[in-house]
């Protein structure tokens, strides 16, 4: 039987809905739970494993106890081999490192791990490039190129590897940022190392790219377009997502927005800063809203990476007709013809968002671009 390793970081992604921008460390995890956050990684791991259901009789899943993989494998219908030991509800990054080392020792053919950039870093510390790995995206911030585009894509690609239909591998970047600085509104990202991943561009996301030189003028032009809409519709509530392109909008208004959070603007005034899902649901109820989001450079995501506060429930409440996507033409060109991506955690919402969307690329300048969920 083929051997598939499975590691789940059960705390990954919990801070996203409540606006914490990360969940590394005991205190952010405690705060996320206090704010009503729910674990995201276990559900996403199950979603990936369900794509492997046809291989249940041909694949042995080797994993760690409880919520680090055992629970998820059983929920997906597998009977896993459980190695190691952990305290339920009290897992740490050291547990991830030990689990990955055990997977290497036990000879798994592919290590599937669910988490974010911090989880990828822990796996790298444990195995380097000695083991084929594939990430199931479950974190708040996922800049690394070792993750599949969605949990479903992770399961599909793992299936192709286990069936011998994908045999090539390459080294992909593991990126990580300083979460403390990130929460203060500063992005300090660096290359941490490389993991060996299956070579299949259809299923893997790209590494996040930074702002290109010369984007400032284009961003200012986009800001003029959005501000004109705000002035024309002063009673509308504008939900402004994170990013440097959207920051140009708040800069144009002369207000101090949250670069890495979600802001609320009404009548060209800031009426809420760095809000979470709960606030968005309360403040947008019964209101006419516009949701302004930008594209992650190099990756193409408009939902599901760093703006989880604008959740499927929020989108369903305000209506998809409220969506305004903004991006410079240079950022669109960086996708090299690839689609815009959505990974909201809700398959129905991803399907509803798929198709074509207008993208504001300048003042009274728009293009129509394809979206895939």
Higher per-residue pLDDT: 176 or 28: 176
Q: pLDDT at position 320, please?
A: 97
Indicate if the pLDDT at residue 182 is higher than 60: no
Q: What average pLDDT is seen over the chain? A: 91
Rounded mean pLDDT, 91-114: 96
Q: pLDDT at position 21, please?
A: 55
Name the CATH code of domain 2-198 (choices 3.40.50.2300, 3.30.70.890, 3.40.50.200, 3.90.1560.10).
3.40.50.2300
Cβ atoms of 8 and 45 within 8 Å: the answer is: yes
Dump pLDDT digits (tens) for 20-69.
555 555 555 566 555 666 778 999 999 999 999 999 999 999 999 999 99
Give the chain's radius of gyration (CA, Å): 20
Q: pLDDT at position 310, please?
A: 97
pTM: predicted TM-score of the whole model, two decimal places: 0.83
The structure tokens listed for 294 are 């930008």
Q: pLDDT at position 230, please?
A: 98
Indicate if the pLDDT at residue 214 is higher than 90: no
Task: Tell the burial category of 250 from Cβ atoms under 10 Å away from its Cβ (0-12, 13-18, 19+).
Answer: buried
Phi, psi dihedrals of residue 368, rounded to the nearest 5°: -110, 130
Dump pLDDT digits (tens) for 278-325.
999 999 999 999 999 999 988 999 999 989 999 999 999 999 999 999
């Amino acid at each position: 039987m083929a051997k598939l390793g499975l590691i789940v970081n059960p705390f990954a992604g919990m801070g996203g809905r409540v606006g914490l921008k990360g969940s590394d460390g005991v205190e952010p995890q405690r705060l996320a739970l206090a704010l009503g956050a729910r674990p995201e990684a276990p559900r996403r791991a199950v979603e990936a494993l369900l794509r492997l259901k046809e291989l249940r009789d041909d694949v042995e899943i080797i994993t760690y106890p409880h919520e680090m993989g055992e629970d998820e494998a059983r929920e997906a219908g597998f009977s896993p081999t459980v190695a190691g030991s952990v305290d339920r509800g009290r897992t740490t990054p050291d547990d991830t490192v030990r689990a990955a080392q055990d997977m290497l020792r036990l000879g798994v053919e592919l290590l599937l791990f669910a988490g974010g950039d911090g989880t990828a870093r822990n796996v790298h510390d444990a195995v380097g490039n000695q083991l084929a790995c594939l990430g199931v995206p479950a974190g708040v911030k996922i800049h690394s190129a070792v993750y599949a585009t969605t949990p479903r894509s992770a399961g599909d690609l793992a299936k192709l590897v286990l069936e011998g239909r994908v045999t090539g591998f390459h080294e992909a970047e593991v990126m990580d940022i300083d979460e403390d600085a990130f929460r203060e509104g500063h992005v300090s990202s660096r290359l941490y190392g490389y993991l060996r991943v299956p070579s299949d561009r259809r299923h893997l996301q790209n590494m996040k790219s930074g702002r290109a030189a010369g984007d400032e003028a284009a961003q200012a032009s986009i800001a003029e377009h959005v501000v004109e809409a705000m002035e024309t519709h002063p009673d509308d509530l504008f939900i402004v997502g994170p990013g440097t392109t959207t920051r140009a909008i708040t800069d144009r208004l002369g207000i101090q927005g949250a670069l890495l959070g979600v802001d609320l603007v009404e009548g060209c005034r800031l009426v809420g800063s760095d809000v979470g899902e709960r606030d968005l649901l309360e403040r947008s109820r019964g209101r006419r809203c516009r949701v302004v989001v930008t594209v992650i450079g190099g990756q193409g995501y408009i939902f599901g990476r760093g703006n989880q506060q604008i959740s499927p429930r929020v989108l369903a409440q305000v209506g998809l007709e409220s969506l305004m996507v903004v991006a410079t033409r240079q950022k669109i060109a960086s996708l090299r013809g690839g689609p815009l991506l959505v990974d909201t955690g809700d398959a129905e919402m991803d399907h509803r968002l798929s198709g074509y969307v207008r993208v504001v690329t300048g003042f009274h300048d728009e293009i129509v671009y394809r979206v895939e969920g």
